[in-house]
Structure 1
């Protein structure tokens, strides 16, 4: 939507040289803001590790351009940061594996995540980045994995889980305001993912969706599973289904989320959207 190709993954050995001039994707499955989140799945790049990986990319840039050119390059770049969900799904909501839910109230845990993320963002800012698009957390109580837990009536989201992520989203938006005041040479944007996905779930027909509470991959009694099992066919109407598997939206749903991030009003992206940021 912004006219640039999808950035290659950092861990790909071929992500060097000309492949990094349009950016790099540092995302890591199951990883979160906190180093321990997702450890039950094995090795992953936490947000702290991703910051270090970005520094590795900077070393490559230094061999490709002089300091002035690199500073200009970084100032025009946009850091899209989508993190935090796994700190709940793969940490706070797993009391059998993690002690966080007994150590912190939902408010305290949200504060911990926001404060930790704030330090990570300021580290990136100190390295030369000037544009930050920071996504909030979606209504996790509405994902198939949580719906299948039996904590709410059939067809309903788990309100207590949705309320649990509120402190993080509220804190992240407040942090964006504070960062914009403290760093006038930089731009920080809060993406209201909760609002956008909530709108899709509450008004599915407006987006041509017909299935909002089950995964395309793992329908029926297995709708809470993570991915398709061998020889199991996904649903045939994936363009009409909001969720692909137990945790992730379908490509069609992600398109709506992305379009509103790029073009939406301040209710979607605050205080400006991605297109406006790109033109700065």
Structure 2
């Protein structure tokens, strides 16, 4: 009997591990009925910019939303990554922009606003700190504490801080750059702590994209089609290197704090490194935009006074406009966020984060993906590679 009991225990552990780490195994899982909240800039903006400014926002007009015949303020030709994550979380209603009147925020909301920053006072936008304060204004009337603790909080912010810094300080030396990165990441830590003190416990932080490879940056800095603007890439890398260790420390010191980090930098970089690699992801164009004008078709998409070009088939493009990805790419990101393995998102994916018991200390930490410890830990995994090549 003792042997049978031990065998049953081992099989049970293996079954749970399989369910959590095999992204193809979702049937039969009971996803908790929690919410999804998003914070940050235009990458996660579900339409808030439209409701914060008195001028027409290009994303409210064709060809934005083209794939869904619905230009509703999202910076894509259709859905964005949080839309797909919400679908996988079995949230039955779209995650709405919180600044739009009379929306249903019972299962979450987007607080993200285009042009958001961590530092300073962005014009007709909200800093991450202001977005969190807006969340606190709505919290008591809409969500109870237990519901918030079990919900997922996705954050992508910081790109505008570095884009503005580089534009305003073109000759900044390494010391000035490092000092600015420290100020940005310290503010990010402070804002995450504010959100944690507001009741949030489950965080997904997305690293910055390789900013120097955005089509609008290549176009503005005249790098040509094959080269990126490396000073911006270096700032993004300096920023990203601080995210994992910061969250490890918060998880070790803040009771019940749980997190994961989505390696967005390398997800994008893998898709633009070479034509051969990008074709394996079924993208024909990864260094220019589908919509816009200029050397990289990166400026003016949707603006009424710009005769921007529109590609014939947006699903063959990684970027829809100069800074934002097509719906096809966004769907890939949604799959990676929800079900990929630790080469892409770690210490756990969003599905594991949702399923992880509230208040339970984390048993794994974030590790640099280049470290021998990380490679050894996952090299012998018996499970599939997940969506890292999706």
TM-score norm. by structure 2 comes to: 0.63
Quick check: 1:180–1:187 contact (8 Å CA) kept in 2? yes
Q: Deviations over 1:77-124 (max 9, x none)?
A: 1111111111112x21221xx799589722221111111011111111
SS at match of 1:94: helix
1:146 alignment partner, one of 217, 224, 229: 217
Structure 1 position 46 matched with structure 2 position 133: no
Q: Deviations over 1:120-151 (max 9, x none)?
A: 11111111111011111000111111111345
Alpha-carbon distance in 2 for matches of 1:102, 1:150? 18
2:290 alignment partner, one of 216, 226, 235: 216
Q: 1:232 to 1:158 in 2, by over 3 A?
A: closer
Alpha-carbon distance in 2 for matches of 1:216, 1:34? 31
Alpha-carbon distance in 2 for matches of 1:219, 1:209? 20
SS at match of 1:80: strand
Quick check: 2:162–2:232 contact (8 Å CA) kept in 1? no
1:107 alignment partner, one of 178, 196, 199: 178
Aligned twin of 1:78: 152
Which has the larger share of helix? 1
Aligned twin of 1:267: 343
Structure 1 position 135 matched with structure 2 position 206: yes
Structure 1 position 92 matched with structure 2 position 165: yes
Alpha-carbon distance in 1 for matches of 2:213, 2:139? 39
Alpha-carbon distance in 2 for matches of 1:122, 1:144? 34
Q: 1:229 to 1:9 in 2, by over 3 A?
A: closer
SS at match of 1:93: helix
Q: Deviations over 1:47-74 (max 9, x none)?
A: 1110110001113226xxxxxxx22101
Name the Cα RMSD after superposition. 2.2
Alpha-carbon distance in 1 for matches of 2:147, 2:193? 18
Alignment gaps of 5+ in structure 1:
63-69
How big is the shift at 1:278? 1.2
Structure 1 position 21 matched with structure 2 position 106: yes
Alpha-carbon distance in 1 for matches of 2:174, 2:272? 32
Deviates more, 1:183-192 or 1:237-246: 183-192
Q: 1:102 to 1:240 in 2, by over 3 A?
A: same
Aligned twin of 2:313: 237
Alpha-carbon distance in 1 for matches of 2:269, 2:308? 29
Quick check: 2:218–2:296 contact (8 Å CA) kept in 1? no
Alpha-carbon distance in 2 for matches of 1:239, 1:11? 30
Alpha-carbon distance in 2 for matches of 1:166, 1:187? 23
Quick check: 2:285–2:317 contact (8 Å CA) kept in 1? yes
Aligned twin of 2:95: 7
How big is the shift at 1:220? 5.1
1:204 alignment partner, one of 253, 278, 293: 278
Aligned twin of 1:59: 140
Quick check: 2:118–2:184 contact (8 Å CA) kept in 1? yes
Alignment length (residue pairs): 263
Quick check: 2:215–2:296 contact (8 Å CA) kept in 1? no
Quick check: 2:202–2:257 contact (8 Å CA) kept in 1? yes
SS at match of 1:213: strand
Aligned twin of 2:70: none
Q: Deviations over 1:177-227 (max 9, x none)?
A: 111111241202111110111112232112110001111012553623142
- Whose RCO is larger (CA < 8 A, sep 6+)? 2
Alpha-carbon distance in 2 for matches of 1:55, 1:124? 9
